[in-house]
């Protein structure tokens, strides 16, 4: 049984690694002119078969609707998304990717890969496989909330 001291140390290591990964991703994404929050929104829009509603984006991103409006405004100015009316309900606004948005997503994927490579560089292929298996186990584990 792991001690609380060991669990505390692991939690601290995971937090440090997460912050390091975020910094590396931000550094690689900076030349693209896209923030991490905008990147999340682009990935969420791309994930759907049809353009999502603004309210759906807020729910999926777990942010208030105003935050989605701000993100969409910035991405629209960047040329990555556009607002489109819902064909069945004029009051509903949907968000769709543009060709520029699809191109930006490809560049963002490459930036994320480069950031991960920065972090994983010291690991051998065998260590990377072991880490991947451990992360799969942790990401599939039930969420025990108090």
Q: What is the pLDDT of residue 75?
A: 96
Nearest C-alpha neighbor of 34 from the set 82, 101, 117: 101
Whether the pTM exceeds 0.85: the reply is no
CB 86 within 8 A of CB 92: yes
% residues pLDDT > 70 (the chain): 95
Q: Give the right CATH number for 21-133 from 2.60.40.420, 3.40.50.10420, 1.10.10.10, 3.30.470.10.
A: 1.10.10.10
Give the angle subtended at the CA of 93 by the CAs of 88 and 95, to the nearest 5°: 115
Assign 143 a pLDDT band (cuts: 50, 70, 90).
Answer: low
Assign 2 a pLDDT band (cuts: 50, 70, 90).
Answer: low
Q: Which two tokens stand for residue 62?
A: 């777990």
Q: Where are the alpha helices (DSSP H) in the chain?
A: 4-29, 36-47, 54-61, 65-78, 99-120, 125-140
Cα separation, 127 vs 131, whole angstroms? 6
% residues pLDDT > 90 (the chain): 67
């Amino acid at each position: 049984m792991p001690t609380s001291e060991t669990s505390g140390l692991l939690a601290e290591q995971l937090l440090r690694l997460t912050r390091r990964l975020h910094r590396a991703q931000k550094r690689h994404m900076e030349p693209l002119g896209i923030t991490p929050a905008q990147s999340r929104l682009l990935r969420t829009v791309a994930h759907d078969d049809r353009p999502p509603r603004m309210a759906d984006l807020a729910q999926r991103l777990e942010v208030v609707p105003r935050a989605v409006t701000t993100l969409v405004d910035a991405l629209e100015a960047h040329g990555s998304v556009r607002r489109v009316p819902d064909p069945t309900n004029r009051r509903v606004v949907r968000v769709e990717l543009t060709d520029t948005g699809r191109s930006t997503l490809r560049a963002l994927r490459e930036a994320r890969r480069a950031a991960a490579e920065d972090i994983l560089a010291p690991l051998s292929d065998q260590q990377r496989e072991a880490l991947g298996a451990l992360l799969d186990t942790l990401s599939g584990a039930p969420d025990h909330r108090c």
